[in-house]
């Protein structure tokens, strides 16, 4: 009887451990901002409306409130430069593109509500590789768009990380 109880306890502990450790896979990448920042303003020196819209959506998904007026914001995030590129990563045996490398970089600064710079010029960057399938150009195109969308989310996560640093500095 004690062997059955011991086996049951070991089984229960192992099952609990696996359940708890596998939860990390569920929440990885779904980081939300839990600090005291209530509102941020997101702008750009050279207006790039699609980029600002994508970043605004990504930051909103992270639990930040984006304001339209600078006066209402606790922090001002200004995008100073945006670069993206798509380069051939590898070639297949026919000397056609087999993989593409995508690079997205955003330079930005963060100021507090008093317009004091709390994070100097910083760069958030993401690089990804995807396979290009000649026989299914539509699927490859969809994969590229999906990957670019996830890259914008990663850029937003990096900006949030800098916002946390700014909040700690600003006190």
Nearest of 142, 143, 117, 139 to residue 129 by alpha carbon: 143
Q: List, for the chain, all residue ranges whose pLDDT scores fall below the cut of 50.
A: 25-31
Query: Which CATH number applies to 36-170?
Result: 3.30.160.150
What is the pLDDT at residue 44? Answer: 87
Q: Would you kindly state where each structural domain of the chain is located, as residue ranges?
A: 1-30, 36-170
What is the pLDDT at residue 56? Answer: 86
Q: pTM here?
A: 0.72
Model confidence over 141-150: pLDDT tens digits?
A: 888 999 998 9
DSSP 3-state of 96: coil
Nearest 5°: the CA angle 88, 131, 139 is 120
CB-based burial of residue 75 (10 Å sphere; 0-12 exposed, 13-18 middle, 19+ buried)?
buried
CA gap 88, 75 in Å, rounded:
38
DSSP 3-state of 126: strand
């Amino acid at each position: 009887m004690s062997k059955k109880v011991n086996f049951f306890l070991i089984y229960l502990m192992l099952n609990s451990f696996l359940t708890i450790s596998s939860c990390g896979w569920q929440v990885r990448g779904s980081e939300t901002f839990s600090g005291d920042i209530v509102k941020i303003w997101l702008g750009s020196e050279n207006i790039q409306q699609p980029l600002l819209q994508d970043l605004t959506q990504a930051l909103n998904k992270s639990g930040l409130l984006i304001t339209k007026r600078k006066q209402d914001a606790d922090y001002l995030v200004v995008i100073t430069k945006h670069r993206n590129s798509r380069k051939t990563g590898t070639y297949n045996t026919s000397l056609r593109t087999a993989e593409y490398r995508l690079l997205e970089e955003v330079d930005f600064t963060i100021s507090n509500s008093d317009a004091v710079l709390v994070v100097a010029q910083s760069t958030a960057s993401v690089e990804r590789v995807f396979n290009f399938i000649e026989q299914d150009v539509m699927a490859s195109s969809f994969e590229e768009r999906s990957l670019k969308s996830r890259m914008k989310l990663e850029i937003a996560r990096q900006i949030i990380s800098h916002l946390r640093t700014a909040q700690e500095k600003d006190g």
